[in-house]
Amino acid sequence: MLPSTGHEGSLNSLRRMKYVLFKIHPTVCEALSDRRPVVALESTIITHGMPYPQNLSTAKEVEDIVRAEGVTPATVAVLEGKVHVGLSSDELDFLARSKTTLKVSRRDLPYVISKGLSGGTTVSSTMIAAHKVGIPVFVTGGIGGVHRDGENTLDISADLTELGRTPIAVVCAGVKSILDIGRTLEFLETQGVCVATYGESKSFPAFFSNKSVYTSPYNVHNAEEAAELIASTLSLGLQSGVLLAVPLPDEHAAAGQQIEDVIQAAVTEARLKGIRGRDVTPFILHRVNELTEGQSLRANIALIHNNARVGSQIARALAERTQ
Ligand code: PSU
Ligand code: MN
């Protein structure tokens, strides 16, 4: 018999906690134990980022695109106090229809878990879940950032500090111009986040627009280069994340410009109405969609599809390297 370390009790309770707090879908479990590629997906976009029924169809399409690339999708959400990694079709349906689910960021996790509540996970809490179960690549639409006037309000998304402390590669379409892109990039630099644009463009993309006036620190030209960058972050043992920004496909660029024009109106409206804190991003997304008569939603869906494809290729290239 092995000598007692005196830690068995706490180790066992830790294992139990993880078992109790997390529910990993069998397809995700199998893929992870076979070292096959998995892509994590967030769910605030389902609960607070898009209206029903487009939220549901998009969530399903994104999972299908990931599967078609030979990768296992793992949509993350909190359901009745458990962090689910990988959802069933019924669970996706529940999240898309529910009007009472919460928006769960890092700071909300303890409360939501302790009360047995349900919610969509933001980029920050999805990164936490992905890291805990060992999924290195995560695909989303847009990350949170420093809000306009953030130098006064201090409204800076927890996504940015999460990228500074959790080694996950987040594939997105850049930062929405509802945010202050320049300050967001400065903040990411302070947090030690390696930021690169995917492809040839020197510009850092602005979500609806495939370029901004800001230069991207780096470029990766293909999935292999992106995987190399992620692998280097992991081998160095850096505890910070990587942000890969994939520009919106050209055919949607014109719509992007028109959407930009109404963003200022929506931002001003949010300020005048006294919208604060976690409600700001969902409010602006909703208003921009109304003001563009659905054009922003269509562009949003197109770019998420594109990100899912690119992110899956990166996850595959990374898995091939580490196999
Ligand atoms: N940007 C979008 N759609 C979204 C979000 C951001 O275009 O759904 C969501 C993401 O889940 C992101 C969160 O992590 O909003 C950021 O919210 P906040 O700005 O409150 O940190
Ligand atoms: Mn905020």
Residue 183 has pLDDT above 90, yes or no: yes
Residue 11 has pLDDT above 60, yes or no: no
Q: Which of the four pLDDT bands, split at 50, 70 and 90, describes residue 106?
A: very high
Distance CA 120, CA 91 (A): 11
Determine which residue's CA is closest to atom 1 belonging to ligand 1: 142
Summarize the confidence of residues 114-118 as an average pLDDT: 97
Residue 196 has pLDDT above 70, yes or no: yes
Task: List, in sequence order, every beta strand (DSSP E) within 80-136.
Answer: 82-85, 102-104, 119-121
Summarize the confidence of residues 129-153 as an average pLDDT: 95
pLDDT for res 19: 66
Q: Considering the entire predicted model, what is its pTM?
A: 0.93
| Integer angstrom CA distances of residue 249 from 50, 199, 200, 293, 303 | 20, 11, 13, 20, 7
Summarize the confidence of residues 255-283 as an average pLDDT: 89
Atom number in ligand 1 closest to CA 49: 8
264 sits in the region (left: phi over 0; alpha: psi -120 to 50; else beta) called alpha
Q: Is 49 in the pocket of ligand 1 (CB under 6 A)?
A: yes
CA 276 to ligand 2 centroid distance, Å? 8
Summarize the confidence of residues 195-216 as an average pLDDT: 94
Q: What residues are annotated to the active site?
A: 42, 176
Which of 21-25, 105-109, 173-177, 271-275 comes out lowest in average pLDDT? Answer: 173-177
CA 143 to ligand 1 centroid distance, Å? 6
Determine which residue's CA is closest to atom 7 belonging to ligand 1: 142
CA 271 to ligand 2 centroid distance, Å? 13
The predicted-structure confidence for 216-259, as pLDDT tens digits, reads as follows 999 999 999 999 999 999 999 999 999 999 999 888 877 777 78
Q: Is 43 in the pocket of ligand 1 (CB under 6 A)?
A: no
